[in-house]
Amino acid sequence: MTAMRHGRTRRTALGAVCVLVAAGPLVTGCSEDPDAGTNGVGKLPAERIQAKTEAAAGSADAVRLAGTVVTSGRTYRLDMRLKSGGGTGSVTSQGATFQLLRIGEQLYLKADAGFWKHADGEGDDQGTDAAAADKLDGKYVKVPTGDPSYKKFSGFTDKDVLLDGLLTLHGTLAKDGHHEQGGVRTIRITGDKGSGGTLDVSLKGLPYPLRLVRAGGAGTLTFSAWGEDFALAEPAKDETVDYGRQLPTS
């Protein structure tokens, strides 16, 4: 706290001096270095910044990401915690919210009865009947690896898949000034002046990505808890249901 107060006092004092100098007969180029006390990536070209933030993200053991992803015309609101062994969190789409949990290769989906009642099956099956839906209500339902839902939803629990697909900006890269995200100073880089996406990179510690606006209105995500481990535990047997065949498609 003392170091922070000293830093703020220095910036405030310097700002006051600049105002006084500018008010005099001779205006000078008095300004504080925006990269002073940072990790220094703000001084690098945009291409180098992107490379460094991708390397930092790839080296982290865990991360939390929250926000929206638009894919195939559908918007998903995510709040996920991810690491190499799996992930856990919530997904909301078209007004329905469900929980995902993946431990190794095993994926579980947890939702209320309303979610399952509105699921549409294939062939002669039209959704899940009320009795079956009530049995699935609030349970961790095992998703078979061969089920279409497995590929669709397991990607939301895979740190490497998500980050590899999300962090690339499109077009010509450029820097777009110094900003702040969640109280942390950042350097912002853009693709094609923002139409190819924007990425805020931390100027504190490792250059982790902190906020991403995807190209083409494909969603906005924030990243936090970089490197902070969390527990992944198999749900209790009385909370688990093995559906035993292809799940209804939501």
Q: Which tens digits make up the pLDDT trace of 43-74?
A: 999 999 999 999 999 999 999 999 999 988 89
- pLDDT in the model for residue 242: 86
Model confidence pLDDT, tens digit, residues 78-110 = 999 999 999 999 999 888 899 999 999 999 999
Mean pLDDT computed over every residue of the chain: 84
SS (H, E, C) 198-248: EEEEECCCCCCEEEEECHHHCCEEEEECCCCCCCCCCCCHHHEEECCCCCC
The dihedral of CA 180, 69, 139, 112: what is its sign? positive
Q: What is the DSSP letter of 168?
A: -
Mean per-residue pLDDT, 174-182: 96
Model confidence pLDDT, tens digit, residues 114-143 = 888 876 543 334 455 777 788 889 999 999
Nearest Cα neighbor of 138 from 118, 110, 101 is 110
Alpha-carbon distances of 21 from 9, 10, 72, 191, 229, rounded to whole Å: 18, 16, 56, 38, 50
Q: Are strands 140-143 and 240-242 parallel, antiparallel or unpaired?
A: parallel
- Report the percentage of the chain scoring pLDDT > 90: 63
**Which phi and psi angles does 108 have, rounded to 5°?**
-120, 145
- pLDDT in the model for residue 128: 56
Q: Is the model's pTM score more than 0.75?
A: yes
